Every structure is written in structure tokens, then in C-alpha cells.
Copies of this chain bind each other. A is one copy, B any other.
Amino acid sequence: MKFSKATNYALHTMLFLAASPQHKLIGVQQLAERQQVSTTYLSKILTKLVKAGMIESTSGANGGYRLKRNFEEISFLDVIHAIEGTASLFECEMNHGPECLIQQVMVSAEMKMEEHLRNQKLSELAKQMPVVL
């Protein structure tokens, strides 16, 4: 029960992009070396973010990644869901129906966490970021 490293990479990348001049394209090399991860692996993660509509990419020389227009609304939860999926943290075989109290406790606990992550917008955090990532 841990957040994956991929999620970690995705969050750092998104915040770095948010702290950069908006229009500028940034290649995966620059993003990767800053996080000490291989370019090929980070590339796969960024492709997920592209497909989730959070960033856009440009191939070819001087290509790279850039935030999309809707950036202001993107939350931590959006990034996490894009990488880890949206399945519930708690699942049981033998489902005894939605009135089960165990499920209710576990699911609502997860929702408390998600609510907090949904309220944290990347744009807000980027403003407050002190130095480097």
C-alpha cells in the first residue's frame, strides 16, 4: 500500500512544468535528469498524462511537453488517477451489497483523502513553491 514511483515522477514533472514559462516546450531529457530517472521510462509516464489531456506534446527537433490550457483546474488527484487508475483502494470478494458497513468505512476514508487531493490545485502550489523541486 504505497503510491508508486511513477506517480511521484508525474507529480514532480507537472509541478516543474507549472513553474516554467507556459508556452515553452521542455524535453523529456531535462525533466528526467532532474529526477534521476531514465528518459525512456519517464517518457512512458508522460504519455499517460498526454492521453489524460493534462499536457500536450510536440515531436521533432525542439519538441517536448507543455501544459494545456485547462491547467488551472488540474489537481493532485487528477494526476494520481491518471497514473494509478481510479479503482477503489478497498475491494472484497463476496460482495454483500452496498449496505455493508466495512465497505462504507473504507470507501469513505478513501474519499476523505481524495477530497483533500482534489482541493490541491497544481497551479496554486506552483505559485507557492519556494525554490527548485
Is chain A's binding surface mostly helix, strand, loop or mixed?
Answer: helix
Across the interface, which residues of B come within 8 angstroms of A35, CB to CB?
Answer: 94
Task: Tell me if A102 and B12 are in contact (CB < 8 A).
Answer: yes
Q: Contact: B101 with A109, CB < 8 Å?
A: no
Q: How many copies does the complex hold?
A: 2
Q: How far is the CA of A87 from the CA of B3 in the complex (A)?
A: 11
Q: Which residues of B contact A102 (CB under 8 A)?
A: 11-12, 15, 125, 133
Known: A1-B84, A89-B2. A115 touches B112 (CB 8 A): yes
8 Å CB contacts to B: which residues of A13-41? Answer: 15, 35-36
The size bracket of the interface on A is 35 or more
CB-nearest residue of chain B to A93: B36
> Contact: A105 with B120, CB < 8 Å?
yes
Taken residue by residue from 67 to 92, chain A's Cβ proximity to chain B (1 for < 8 Å, 0 otherwise) reads as 00000000010000000100101111
Q: Which 5 A-B pairs have the closest CB atoms?
A: A113-B113, A109-B116, A112-B112, A112-B116, A109-B113
